[in-house]
C-alpha cells in the first residue's frame, strides 16, 4: 500500500468511516433534541390524530435503529416514496426526503451547493490576496503605514462578527454610495458578470474574517525562512531583497498556506451560515440552520454529511499539495 | 521591539548565551518586547474591568439591569433622547436603546461573560486537545488510529449546528454562560489536538526523550516530565488565538439566538442587538465592537510576544513540522548546547533531522500537514 | 392562528411553519398616509412589481397554507369562494364574495351553507372551474402528505374528523355536495355563523383533479387568479408570476392586478429588505415587502427623514401578546395572585421592549382593539401606564404573601420575537416595583412550544400570543377559552384550562348568529366576562410599520391582515 493509489484508498476508507460516525452522531443528537417533529410538520393546530398520521407518514414512530437502517438503505439502493398521487423513486445515493417540503434531500443539496461554492471560492481568492499580501508586508516592510493599515484591517476582521461588517458594508456601499447592487444570488452560468458583482460584498466580508489568519501564518513562515542561514548567504552574495522575498521566503510559506486554505475552504462550505443569512444567499449553511430549527432530520444529516465530506476532501487535497510542495513528505 | 529582529537573531544569539532560569529568561524576553508589554497591560486592564465590574458600576451609580424609560424616546423606537446616545455624568457611555439600561455597566459586566466564556472554552479545548493529542502520539498504533479518527470527526462536524442542537438539549436551569463555554470547548478541540499530536511526535524523536525512554521511564512520566514543557510554546500560542475566536463564536451563537441569555449582558449579545442600530444610535454598536477589537488586538500581540519569549528560535511554533527541521538546521550551524531550567541537556544532533530522512520524520511531516492548517480552523463557523 | 413577527426577524431561527403560513406580517397606512411619491398618484397597469421578503414561500400548495383571508402572494394565484374586502382599515375586515356569487346562503340554523359559482370562471389553461374542483381541493387538504392548514374544516364538516384525504379514501367527503358544476353545499355538524370567513382560506381554492401531482403540486399550482406561476425556484425562494390571461376583472371585483409581472425574492435579511426599500435603487423602487416590518432602530432612522416617513404605512392586525397563567399551578391557582400581577404590570416597559409606542399599543383586553372583533375597551385591573404597585401589594398580602412573591416566567429563547427574552426581561422589570420577583426560564423555541401546548407540561406563568384566523371574536376566543377544546394528548391552546359551562354555552350561542355585527358585540361582552377570571394579562397589540419603494402607488392595508395588499399595488 504505497504511492498515490494507496493514499487514495486509505483516505477513502477513512472518509467513509468518518462520515458514517458523523451520521450516527447526528441521528442520536437529533433524536434527543426537543421538538415534536410531527407536530411541527403538521402545523400547530393539528389534532392528535392528524399528528399521528403525519408521524406514520414520516416513519417517526419507528425505533431509532430502524430509521437509521432505512436511511442507510436509501443511500445504498435508493428509496421509493409517494407524492399522494404517484410513486416516485429517489435513486441511490438517496439521502431521504425533507420532512417539511417532501423534497429529495439530494436535490436540495445540489440546488444549494453552487451558491455555497461560489461564495467560498470567490472569498478564498480575496482572503489569499489580502492575507498573504498583509503577511508579506508585515514580514518585509514592518512598521510602514500600509502594513499597519492592512494588519489593522485584518485584525478588525477577526474581531468583528460578519453580521456587523457585512451589514455596515452593505448599508454604506450599496445603500449610501450606491456603488454596488444589494447582493442577490445570480447563477454563474446565467450571467457571470452579475454573479461576480452580486457576490463581491459577501466575498469581501467572508475574506476579511479569514485574512488575518493567513497574514499571521505567512508572516511567521517568512520570518522563519528569512532567519535561515542560506538566506543570509544569499544576502551576503548580494541577491536582491525582492528576489529573496519572492523566490525564497514566500516559497517557504507556500505549504502551510495551502494547508490552512484547504481547511478553511472545506469548513466554509457549510460554515458560512451568518454570511449566507445576512446577504440572503441560499446556500448550504443557511438551509442547515433552518433545518435544525424545524428538526428536519433528513436535511440536517444530509447537509452535515456533505460538509463533512468537503472538510475531509479538503484535508486530503491539502496533504497532496503539501507533498507536491515538499517532495520529502510521504503521503500517509 | 520588532519580533522579526528576535526571530532573525534567534538562531545565532540566544542559544549561545548561557540561559538562566527558564522562567526568568521568559520574562526577560517578554519584557524586551514593548508591544507585548503594552498588550499585556491592556489584557490585564480588561480582566480587571471584568473582575471589578460591580465596583466600577457602583462608582458610576448604575447597574446593568435597571430600565430607564425616561431616557429613551418610545415613539421613535426607543432611541436614547440625550445627545451622543445619552452620555451624561450618570451614564458614562450613554444608555441602551429601547430599555435605557446603562451601557457602561452592560459593557463591564459583558466583559465578565465574554472573557469568562472565551477563557473557559479555551481551557476546555486545551485540556481535551492536549490529553487526546499526547495520548494519540504516545499510544499504540490502534490508540492513535482511534483518537485521530475521533479528532477527524470532531473537525468535520459543523460547529454551529452541533452547538444549536446541544444548547437545545440541555435543560434551561443549567447556568447558561458555563454551558456556552462547555459546548464551544467540547466541540471545537479538534484542531488543537492535531497540533499537539504532531508536536508530540516531533518531540518524541528528540534525543532526550528517546534517552528517557531507553532508561525505562513510563509513558506518562515521559509525557509529564519531558513532553509537556516542550508543548507549552505552541499550546500557549494557539490558545492566545483561540480566545478571540471563542469570543466571536459566542457572538455568533448569540446572533443565532442560542448564546448567553438576557438579561445577562455579553459583548456578543450587545453586538447582535446593536448592529441594526448603527445608523440611529452608532455608539451602541461601536462600544462592544471597539471592546472586542481591542481585546483581539491585545491578545494577538501578547500571543506573539509569549511565543517569541518561549521559543525565540522557532518564531512560529505553530508550524511544528518545519520547526523540527529548522531546529536541526540551527543546530547544524554549530551551536550545540542549550540548558533549560531543570538542567536537562536537550542538544539535538546536527544531522539527525536534516540529512537522514528516516521514516519517522516523514510521518511527522505528514501529520503536520494536518496540524498546520489549523491556525484558525474553527473560525469558519462564526463566519 | 398566524404569527407575524413584531420586530423584523434577523435569522430564520423561528417557528418557521407558522411564519410561513402567515405570508403576512404586517402593516400599512390605516389612514392611507402612504402614497406614491410621484406626482401622479393614479395607478396604471403595467410594469414589474418586486416583492422582497424574508420568509420564502415554502408552501405554495393551497392545501398546506395557513393564511388569514387567503394570504398575500398566494391570493394572486388562488381564488377562493369568498375573500377579504380589499379596502383600507376597518372596511377591509369585511368578508366579500370571490368565486361565489355571494358570501354564502345558510339554512335556518346555519348548519348548511350553499354557494353558487360565478359564470365564466377559468383556470390558467382555459378550462372551466367547477364546484367539484373546490370539493376536491378541500378533500386533499385532509391528506397527511399535505398537512398544514387550519383545523376548522376537520372540526366543522360532518364526518370529517377521521377522513384521510382523497389519496387514501376515494369515496370523498359526503359533507360536501356538488349537485351541479356551479353549486356546492356544505353540511356542518353544528351551527357556524362565521362560515363565510372560513371560506376565504386557501383550502377553498379549486384544484383540478387531473392536474393534482400531490406533494409536487406546489411547484406549479394551477392558477385561478390574476397571475400564474412562471417559475418557482429553491422551494419558494424566487417566484415569478405573470398574467393569467384567462382571468378577468368581470368575475373578480377585488383584485386590481396592475403590474404585468411580479418578482418575489425571499430569504433576505430583514434589515437588508428595509435598507433596499429605503434606497429604492433600480427595481427596488417598485418593490414592497409582505412580511417585514420596520424595527425600532429603523423607525428611529426613518422618522427623521421626511421623504422616507411619507413612504411608511401603518397597519393593524388582530393580534394580542399576553402573559398566560396555568391556574392549576401554585401560586397561580389563587385568583388574587393573578389579579395582583395584572395590577402590577408596567406596560410601558413591555411596550418599549416590543419597539416602543409606535410599534405596540398597550393592551388591557384579550380581544384585539378593532371593531370587527367586538372590541370593548375594558380595563378590569387598572394598572395605568406604569403599574399599580400599591394595589398589587395589597392583593398579595390578602393572598398570603405580605413580603412579596417570587415566580418563574417561562419564555422562548427566540430573539426578536413576541415571546423573546427581551420581552421577558422587560416583564421582570415591570413587576419589580410591586415586590414580585420574576425568575426567567428561557426554552428553545420547539421545546417552549411543546411545553406550553401540552396539558401535562404546561408551566404556571408564561409568555404567549394569539392571532386572528379571521377578524372576528370566534377564532380568537374559542380555541383559548372553550372548555371542549382542551386537548389532553396533543397541542392544547386552552392554556388557562378554562371549562366554564356558561362560557361554552355563550360560544355556541354566538356561533349560531349569521349577523356578524351582532355576533361581534356578543364576543366583546364575552371577552370582558372571561377577563374577570384573570387567566391572562394582556400586554400589547402590535402595530406594523411598513416601508414601500418610491414608485409604489395605491397602497391598501386592511385591518384584516394589517399587510399591504399586493393585489392592489401599482408600479406605474
pLDDT, tens digit, 9 for 90 and up, residues C61-78: 999 999 888 889 999 999
* More confident call, B369 vs C192: C192
Mean pLDDT of chain B: 73
Residue C450 to residue A184, Cβ atoms within 8 A: no
Same domain for A83 and A220 = no
Looking at residue C31, what is its pLDDT? Answer: 39
Is A302 among the domain residues?
A: no
Phi, psi of A147 (to 5 degrees): -65, -45
Looking at residue A329, what is its pLDDT? Answer: 53
* More confident call, C266 vs B83: C266
Contact with chain A for residue B187, Cβ under 8 A: no
Q: Which of residues 210-269 of B touch A (CB under 8 A)?
A: 244-245, 248, 251-252, 255-256, 268
Same domain for A183 and A74 = no
Looking at residue C15, what is its pLDDT? Answer: 32
Which chain B residue shows the shortest CA-CA distance from A259?
Answer: B373
Contact with chain B for residue C521, Cβ under 8 A: no
Please give, rounded to a whole number of angstroms, the shortest distance from the CA of A161 to a CA of chain B: 6
Question: pTM of this prediction?
Answer: 0.85
Same domain for A154 and A134 = yes
Looking at residue B380, what is its pLDDT? Answer: 36
Residue B261 to residue C421, Cβ atoms within 8 A: yes
Residue B78 to residue C296, Cβ atoms within 8 A: yes
Contact C145, A102 (CB under 8 A): yes
Of A49, A81, A105, the last residue of a domain is A105
Adjacent-strand bridge partners of C50: C263, C287
Residue B9 has pLDDT above 70, yes or no: no
* C431 closest CA partner among C366, C383, C378: C383
List pLDDT tens digits, range C319-350.
999 999 999 998 999 999 999 999 999 999 99
Same domain for A276 and A215 = yes
* More confident call, C48 vs B241: C48
* B251 closest CA partner among B101, B114, B103: B114
Looking at residue C230, what is its pLDDT? Answer: 96
Q: How far apart are CA A98 and CA A250, in angstroms?
A: 48
Is A331 among the domain residues?
A: no
* More confident call, C81 vs B19: C81
Residue C2 has pLDDT above 50, yes or no: no
Of A105, A120, A144, the last residue of a domain is A105
Contact C11, C538 (CB under 8 A): no
Looking at residue C10, what is its pLDDT? Answer: 34
Mean pLDDT of chain A: 84
Residue B365 to residue A329, Cβ atoms within 8 A: yes
- The pLDDT of C190-216, averaged and rounded, is 95
Same domain for A254 and A204 = yes
Chain B residues in contact with A229 by the CB 8 A cut-off are 11, 329, 333
* More confident call, A303 vs B12: A303
Same domain for A209 and A78 = no
Beta-carbon contacts of A13 under 8 Å, excluding residues fewer than 6 positions away, are: none
Residue B367 has pLDDT above 50, yes or no: no
- The pLDDT of C391-418, averaged and rounded, is 90
Is A321 among the domain residues?
A: no
**For residue A232, how far is the Cα from the chain centroid?**
41
| Buried-exposed string A245-274: b where 16+ CB fall within 10 A, e elsewhere | beebbbebbbbbbbbbbbbbbbbbbbbbbb
List pLDDT tens digits, range B231-255.
877 787 778 778 878 888 888 888 7
Looking at residue C394, what is its pLDDT? Answer: 95
Residue B82 has pLDDT above 70, yes or no: yes
Residue B351 has pLDDT above 70, yes or no: no
Model confidence at B326, pLDDT cuts 50, 70, 90, reads very low
Phi, psi of C441 (to 5 degrees): -125, 100
Looking at residue C239, what is its pLDDT? Answer: 95
Contact with chain C for residue B166, Cβ under 8 A: no
Same domain for A185 and A51 = no
CA distances from C39 to C35, C548, C552 (A): 10, 16, 12
Chain A residues in contact with C446 by the CB 8 A cut-off are 33-36, 40, 293, 295
CA distances from B58 to B48, B102, C78 (A): 15, 12, 62
Beta-carbon contacts of A193 under 8 Å, excluding residues fewer than 6 positions away, are: none
What is the DSSP secondary-structure string of B246-298?
A: HHHHHHHHHHTT-SSPTTS--HHHHHHHHGGGGTT-HHHHHHHHHHHHHHHHH
The helix (H) or strand (E) run that includes residue B5 is: helix B3-10
Contact with chain A for residue C1, Cβ under 8 A: yes
Residue A155 to residue B293, Cβ atoms within 8 A: yes
Q: Which of residues 286-315 of A touch B (CB under 8 A)?
A: 288-289, 292-293, 300, 304, 307-308, 311-312, 315
- The pLDDT of B220-236, averaged and rounded, is 76
Residue C57's CB is within 10 A of a number of other CB atoms, namely: 25
Same domain for A120 and A62 = no
Report the percentage of chain B scoring pLDDT > 90: 22
Residue C147 to residue A35, Cβ atoms within 8 A: no
Looking at residue A325, what is its pLDDT? Answer: 64
Model confidence at B178, pLDDT cuts 50, 70, 90, reads very high
Contact with chain B for residue A330, Cβ under 8 A: yes
Residue C25 has pLDDT above 70, yes or no: no
Residue B363 has pLDDT above 70, yes or no: no
Q: Give me the residue from B168, B256, B276 closest to C11, CB to CB.
A: B256
Looking at residue A331, what is its pLDDT? Answer: 56
Residue C184 has pLDDT above 80, yes or no: yes
Q: DSSP assignment, residue C127?
A: P
Highest mean pLDDT of the ranges B13-27, B65-79, C9-23: B65-79
Residue B350 has pLDDT above 90, yes or no: no
Residue C481's CB is within 10 A of a number of other CB atoms, namely: 28
Of chain A, the end-to-end C-alpha distance in Å amounts to 10
Number of domains in chain A: 2
Q: Of the ranges A112-126, A299-313, C52-66, C490-504, which one carries the lowest mean pLDDT score?
A: A299-313
Is A225 among the domain residues?
A: yes
Residue A66 has pLDDT above 60, yes or no: yes
Same domain for A249 and A205 = yes
Looking at residue A254, what is its pLDDT? Answer: 75
Looking at residue A2, what is its pLDDT? Answer: 58
Contact with chain A for residue B362, Cβ under 8 A: yes
Q: Give me the residue from B66, B76, B257 closest to C299, CB to CB.
A: B76
Q: How far apart are CA A113 and CA A107, in angstroms?
A: 10
Model confidence at C484, pLDDT cuts 50, 70, 90, reads very high
Is A314 among the domain residues?
A: no
Residue A162 to residue B383, Cβ atoms within 8 A: yes
Same domain for A124 and A23 = no
* More confident call, C102 vs B365: C102
Of A105, A140, A158, the last residue of a domain is A105
Contact C338, C325 (CB under 8 A): yes
Residue B218 has pLDDT above 80, yes or no: no
Q: Of the ranges A54-58, B29-33, C6-10, C218-222, which one carries the lowest mean pLDDT score?
A: C6-10
Residue A293 to residue C1, Cβ atoms within 8 A: no
Residue B73's CB is within 10 A of a number of other CB atoms, namely: 17
**CATH at residue A174:** 1.10.3720.10
- The pLDDT of C53-64, averaged and rounded, is 92
Mean pLDDT of chain C: 89
Model confidence at C44, pLDDT cuts 50, 70, 90, reads very high
Is A324 among the domain residues?
A: no
The ipTM value here is: 0.86
Same domain for A141 and A85 = no
Highest mean pLDDT of the ranges A138-147, B294-303, C220-229: C220-229
* More confident call, A256 vs B122: B122
Report the percentage of chain B scoring pLDDT > 70: 75
- The pLDDT of B288-314, averaged and rounded, is 79
Residue B276 to residue C295, Cβ atoms within 8 A: yes
Looking at residue C458, what is its pLDDT? Answer: 95
Residue C511 has pLDDT above 90, yes or no: yes
Looking at residue B86, what is its pLDDT? Answer: 84
Looking at residue A219, what is its pLDDT? Answer: 80
Model confidence at B316, pLDDT cuts 50, 70, 90, reads very low
Residue B295 to residue A213, Cβ atoms within 8 A: no
Is A123 among the domain residues?
A: yes
Same domain for A147 and A279 = yes
Residue B296 has pLDDT above 50, yes or no: yes
> A263: domain range?
111-295
Contact with chain A for residue B298, Cβ under 8 A: no
Residue B332 has pLDDT above 70, yes or no: no
* More confident call, B285 vs B156: B285
Is A330 among the domain residues?
A: no
- The pLDDT of A181-196, averaged and rounded, is 89
* More confident call, B370 vs C295: C295
- The pLDDT of C551-561, averaged and rounded, is 92
Chain A residues in contact with B372 by the CB 8 A cut-off are 255-256, 259-260
Contact with chain A for residue C444, Cβ under 8 A: yes
Amino acid at each position: 500500500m504505497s504511492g498515490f493509489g494507496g493514499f487514495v484508498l486509505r483516505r477513502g476508507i477513512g472518509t467513509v468511516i468518518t462520515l458514517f460516525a458523523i451520521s450516527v452522531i447526528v441521528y442520536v443528537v437529533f433524536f434527543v433534541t426537543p421538538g415534536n417533529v410531527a407536530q411541527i410538520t403538521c402545523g400547530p393546530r393539528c389534532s392528535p390524530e392528524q399528528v399521528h398520521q403525519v408521524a406514520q407518514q414520516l416513519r417517526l414512530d419507528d425505533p431509532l435503529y430502524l430509521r437509521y437502517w432505512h436511511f442507510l438503505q436509501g443511500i445504498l439502493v435508493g428509496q421509493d416514496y409517494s407524492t399522494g398521487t404517484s410513486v416516485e423513486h429517489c435513486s441511490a445515493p438517496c439521502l431521504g426526503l425533507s420532512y417539511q417540503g417532501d423534497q429529495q434531500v439530494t436535490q436540495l443539496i445540489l440546488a444549494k451547493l453552487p451558491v455555497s461554492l461560489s461564495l467560498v471560492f470567490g472569498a478564498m481568492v480575496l482572503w489569499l490576496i489580502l492575507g498573504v499580501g498583509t503577511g508579506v508586508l508585515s514580514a518585509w516592510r514592518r512598521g510602514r503605514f500600509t502594513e499597519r493599515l492592512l494588519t489593522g484591517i485584518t485584525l478588525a476582521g477577526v474581531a468583528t462578527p460578519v453580521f456587523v461588517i457585512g451589514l455596515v458594508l452593505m448599508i454604506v456601499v450599496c445603500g449610501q454610495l450606491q456603488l454596488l447592487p444589494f447582493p442577490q444570488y445570480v447563477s454563474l452560468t446565467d450571467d457571470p458578470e452579475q454573479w461576480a458583482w452580486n457576490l463581491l460584498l459577501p466575498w469581501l466580508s467572508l475574506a476579511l474574517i479569514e485574512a488575518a489568519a493567513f497574514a499571521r501564518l505567512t508572516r511567521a513562515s517568512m520570518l522563519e525562512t528569512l532567519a535561515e542561514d542560506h538566506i543570509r548567504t544569499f544576502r551576503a552574495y548580494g541577491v536582491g531583497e525582492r528576489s529573496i522575498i519572492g523566490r525564497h521566503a514566500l516559497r517557504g510559506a507556500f505549504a502551510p498556506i495551502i494547508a490552512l486554505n484547504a481547511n478553511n475552504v472545506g469548513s466554509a462550505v457549510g460554515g458560512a451560515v451568518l454570511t449566507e443569512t445576512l446577504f440572503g444567499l441560499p446556500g448550504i449553511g443557511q438551509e442547515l440552520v433552518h433545518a435544525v430549527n424545524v428538526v428536519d432530520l433528513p436535511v440536517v444529516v444530509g447537509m452535515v454529511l456533505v460538509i463533512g465530506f468537503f472538510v475531509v476532501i479538503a484535508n486530503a487535497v491539502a496533504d497532496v499539495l503539501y507533498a507536491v510542495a515538499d517532495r520529502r513528505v510521504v503521503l500517509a | 521591539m520588532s519580533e522579526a529582529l528576535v526571530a532573525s537573531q534567534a538562531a545565532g544569539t540566544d542559544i549561545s548565551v548561557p540561559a538562566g532560569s527558564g522562567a526568568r529568561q521568559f520574562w526577560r524576553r517578554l519584557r524586551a518586547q514593548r508591544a507585548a508589554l503594552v498588550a499585556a497591560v491592556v489584557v490585564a486592564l480588561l480582566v480587571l474591568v471584568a473582575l471589578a465590574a460591580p465596583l466600577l458600576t457602583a462608582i458610576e451609580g448604575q447597574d446593568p439591569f435597571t430600565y430607564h424609560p425616561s431616557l429613551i424616546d418610545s415613539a421613535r423606537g426607543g432611541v436614547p433622547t440625550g445627545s451622543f446616545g445619552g452620555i451624561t455624568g450618570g451614564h458614562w457611555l450613554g444608555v441602551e436603546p429601547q430599555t435605557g439600561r446603562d451601557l457602561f455597566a452592560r459593557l463591564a459586566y459583558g466583559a465578565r461573560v465574554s472573557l469568562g466564556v472565551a477563557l473557559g472554552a479555551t481551557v476546555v479545548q486545551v485540556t481535551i486537545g492536549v490529553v487526546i493529542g499526547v495520548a494519540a502520539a504516545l499510544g499504540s498504533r490502534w490508540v492513535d488510529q482511534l483518537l485521530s479518527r475521533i479528532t477527524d470527526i470532531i473537525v468535520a462536524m459543523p460547529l454551529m449546528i452541533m452547538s444549536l442542537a446541544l444548547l437545545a438539549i440541555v435543560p434551561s436551569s443549567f447556568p447558561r454562560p458555563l454551558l456556552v463555554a462547555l459546548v464551544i470547548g467540547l466541540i471545537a478541540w479538534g484542531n488543537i489536538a492535531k497540533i499537539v499530536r504532531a508536536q508530540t511526535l516531533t518531540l518524541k524523536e528528540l534525543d532526550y526523550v528517546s534517552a528517557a525512554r531507553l532508561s525505562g521511564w513510563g509513558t506518562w512520566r515521559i509525557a509529564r516530565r519531558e513532553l509537556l514543557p516542550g508543548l507549552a510554546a505552541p499550546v500557549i500560542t494557539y490558545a492566545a488565538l483561540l480566545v478571540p475566536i471563542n469570543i466571536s463564536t459566542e457572538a455568533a451563537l448569540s446572533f443565532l439566538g442560542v448564546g448567553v441569555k438576557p438579561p445577562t449582558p455579553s459583548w456578543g449579545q450587545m453586538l447582535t442587538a446593536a448592529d441594526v442600530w448603527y445608523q440611529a444610535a452608532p455608539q451602541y454598536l461601536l462600544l462592544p465592537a471597539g471592546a472586542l477589537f481591542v481585546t483581539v488586538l491585545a491578545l494577538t500581540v501578547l500571543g506573539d510576544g509569549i511565543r517569541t519569549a518561549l521559543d525565540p528560535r522557532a518564531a512560529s511554533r505553530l508550524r511544528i513540522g518545519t520547526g523540527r527541521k529548522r531546529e536541526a538546521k540551527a543546530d547544524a550551524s554549530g551551536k550545540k548546547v542549550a540548558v533549560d531550567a531543570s538542567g536537562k541537556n536537550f542538544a539535538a544532533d546536527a544531522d539527525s533531522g536534516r540529512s537522514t530522512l528516516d521514516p519517522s520524520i516523514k510521518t511527522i511531516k505528514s501529520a503536520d500537514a494536518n496540524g498546520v492548517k489549523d491556525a484558525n480552523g474553527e473560525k469558519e463557523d462564526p463566519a | 392562528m398566524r404569527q407575524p413577527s413584531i420586530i423584523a426577524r434577523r435569522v430564520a431561527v423561528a417557528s418557521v411553519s407558522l411564519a410561513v403560513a402567515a405570508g403576512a406580517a404586517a402593516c400599512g397606512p390605516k389612514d392611507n398616509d402612504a402614497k406614491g411619491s410621484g406626482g401622479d398618484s393614479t395607478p396604471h397597469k403595467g410594469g414589474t412589481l418586486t416583492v422582497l421578503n424574508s420568509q420564502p414561500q415554502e408552501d405554495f400548495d393551497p392545501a398546506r397554507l395557513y393564511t388569514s383571508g387567503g394570504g398575500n402572494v398566494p391570493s394572486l394565484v388562488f381564488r377562493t369562494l369568498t375573500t377579504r374586502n380589499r379596502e383600507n382599515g376597518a372596511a377591509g375586515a369585511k368578508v366579500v364574495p370571490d368565486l361565489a356569487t355571494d358570501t354564502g346562503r345558510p339554512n335556518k340554523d346555519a348548519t348548511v351553507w350553499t354557494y353558487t359559482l360565478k359564470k365564466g370562471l377559468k383556470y390558467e389553461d382555459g378550462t372551466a372551474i367547477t364546484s367539484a374542483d373546490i370539493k376536491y381541493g378541500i378533500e386533499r387538504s385532509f391528506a397527511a402528505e399535505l398537512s398544514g392548514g387550519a383545523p376548522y374544516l376537520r372540526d366543522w364538516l360532518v364526518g370529517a374528523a377521521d377522513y384521510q384525504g382523497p389519496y387514501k379514501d376515494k369515496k370523498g367527503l359526503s359533507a360536501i355536495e356538488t349537485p351541479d358544476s356551479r353549486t356546492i353545499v356544505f353540511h356542518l355538524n353544528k351551527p357556524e355563523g362565521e362560515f363565510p370567513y372560513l371560506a376565504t382560506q386557501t383550502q377553498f381554492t379549486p384544484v383540478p383533479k387531473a392536474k393534482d401531482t400531490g406533494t409536487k403540486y406546489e411547484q406549479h399550482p394551477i392558477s385561478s387568479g390574476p397571475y400564474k406561476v412562471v417559475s418557482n425556484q429553491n422551494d419558494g425562494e424566487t417566484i415569478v408570476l405573470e398574467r393569467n390571461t384567462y382571468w378577468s376583472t368581470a368575475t373578480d371585483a377585488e383584485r386590481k392586478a396592475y403590474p404585468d409581472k411580479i418578482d418575489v425574492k425571499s430569504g433576505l435579511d430583514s434589515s437588508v429588505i428595509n435598507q433596499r426599500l429605503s434606497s429604492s435603487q433600480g427595481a427596488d423602487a417598485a418593490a414592497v415587502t409582505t412580511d417585514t416590518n420596520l424595527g425600532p432602530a429603523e423607525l428611529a432612522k426613518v422618522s427623521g427623514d421626511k421623504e422616507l416617513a411619507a413612504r411608511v404605512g401603518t397597519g393593524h392586525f388582530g393580534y394580542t401578546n399576553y402573559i398566560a397563567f396555568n391556574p392549576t399551578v401554585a401560586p397561580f391557582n389563587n385568583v388574587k395572585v393573578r389579579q395582583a400581577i395584572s395590577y402590577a404590570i408596567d406596560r410601558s416597559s413591555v411596550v418599549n421592549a416590543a419597539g416602543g409606542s409606535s410599534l405596540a399599543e398597550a393592551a388591557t383586553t384579550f380581544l384585539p382593539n378593532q371593531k370587527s372583533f367586538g372590541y370593548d375597551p375594558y380595563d378590569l385591573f387598572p394598572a395605568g401606564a406604569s403599574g399599580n404597585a400599591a394595589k398589587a401589594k395589597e392583593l398579595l398580602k390578602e393572598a398570603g404573601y405580605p413580603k412579596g412573591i417570587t415566580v418563574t416566567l417561562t419564555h422562548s429563547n427566540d430573539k426578536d420575537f413576541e415571546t423573546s427574552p427581551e420581552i421577558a426581561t422587560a416583564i421582570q422589570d415591570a413587576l419589580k416595583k410591586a415586590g414580585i420577583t420574576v425568575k426567567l426560564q428561557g426554552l428553545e423555541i420547539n421545546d417552549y412550544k411543546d411545553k406550553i401546548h401540552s396539558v401535562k407540561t404546561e408551566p404556571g406563568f408564561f409568555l404567549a400570543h394569539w392571532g386572528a384566523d379571521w377578524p372576528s371574536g370566534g377564532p380568537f376566543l374559542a380555541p383559548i377559552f372553550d372548555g371542549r377544546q382542551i386537548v389532553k394528548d396533543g397541542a392544547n391552546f386552552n392554556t388557562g384550562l378554562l371549562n366554564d359551562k356558561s362560557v361554552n354555552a355563550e360560544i355556541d350561542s354566538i356561533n349560531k348568529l349569521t349577523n356578524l355585527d351582532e355576533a361581534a358585540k356578543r364576543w366583546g361582552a364575552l371577552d370582558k366576562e372571561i377577563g374577570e377570571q384573570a387567566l391572562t394579562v394582556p400586554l400589547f397589540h402590535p402595530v406594523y410599520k411598513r416601508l414601500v419603494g418610491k414608485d409604489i402607488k395605491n397602497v391598501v392595508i386592511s385591518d384584516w391582515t394589517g399587510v399591504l395588499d399586493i393585489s392592489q399595488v401599482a408600479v406605474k
